[in-house]
Amino acid sequence: MNFLEAILDVTVYSRAKKDREFPMHRLRRRFTFWTFILLFAFTSRANAETPTAAATIERFHAELLDVMKNAGTLGYVGRKAKMEKIVPAALDLEFMSEKSIGARWKTLNASEQTHLRAALRNLAICRYASRFNGYSGETFQLLGEETEPNGLALVRTQITKSNGEIIAMNYRLHQVDGRWLVIDVLLNGNVSELAMRRSEFSTVLKQEGVDGLITSIQKSVTEIETTPTRKTENKAS
């Protein structure tokens, strides 16, 4: 016996045993009433358990802020280790990798796609570890969440620097298995980072092919990790 049958058994059928002439219209009303209650309860519970797009960004910002506040202690290596967990939990790196290559992605073989995903994932993590390298009073503020066509969400935020400068930072997200993940970062509020990467990578692909693009990405990672600042941090950590 399921939950609905148990309720009906207690509220209706036990009473019907006492009165074999129990009116069917009253039985239908009671059935409709309890069905509505159950559906409402289950829907409310499901909605309560599904995190919002804004919640994803708030958690992301909180984790970034924690890394910034401990940047010196962590060093570059420690920050990168943190970002290995933080970034993939908030960003749909696989989706972003495909879209940053554009229509050319479908023409790549499985091996090329795998190597590009790995290279782009590493580049994204290195960039976050490099950029969030200290804290001087910056704050993140959530401004709102909007629903966009095709089930997407736009979360508007801003970063206030210690000197009072405000930088708009918006995020576009989609749902994957009940989780909201970032698919694009809008720098200064409206400049698509995904579109910038697509333009950059498209040029390299045309001139040097897939292998050339992978080499270019790996070179960017090397440059990030071998700057004088990185070397000093690596020794300190």
Helix residue ranges, H only, 91-192: 93-101, 110-131
Round to whole Å and give the CA distance between 175 and 182.
9
Confidence (pLDDT) at 30: 54
Indicate whether 34 and 135 sit together in one domain. no
pLDDT band at residue 140 using 50, 70 and 90 as cut-offs = very high
Mean pLDDT in residue range 98-109: 95
pLDDT (0 to 100) of residue 158: 96
Model confidence at 5: pLDDT above 80:
no
Residues 66 and 8 in one domain: no
pLDDT digits (tens, 9 = 90+) for 109-124: 999 999 999 999 999 9
Average pLDDT estimate for 93-98: 96
CB 119 within 8 A of CB 127: no
Give per-residue pLDDT as tens, 145-161: 999 989 999 999 999 99
pTM for this entry: 0.76
The boundaries of the domain holding residue 105 are 53-236
Q: Are 168 and 175 in contact (CB under 8 A)?
A: no
CATH number at residue 225: 3.10.450.710
DSSP conformation class of 87: H
pLDDT at 190 over 60: yes
Q: Do 106 and 185 share a domain, yes or no?
A: yes
75/129 same-domain check: yes
Instruction: State the Cα–Cα distance between residues 197 and 205, nearest whole angstrom.
Output: 12
Is the pLDDT at 169 greater than 70, yes or no?
yes
Beta strand 139-147 with 153-160 is: antiparallel
Q: Looking at the structure, tell me whether residues 118 and 141 fall in a common domain.
A: yes
The yes-or-no verdict on residue 8 having pLDDT over 80 is no
Task: Look up residue 208 and give its amino acid.
Answer: E
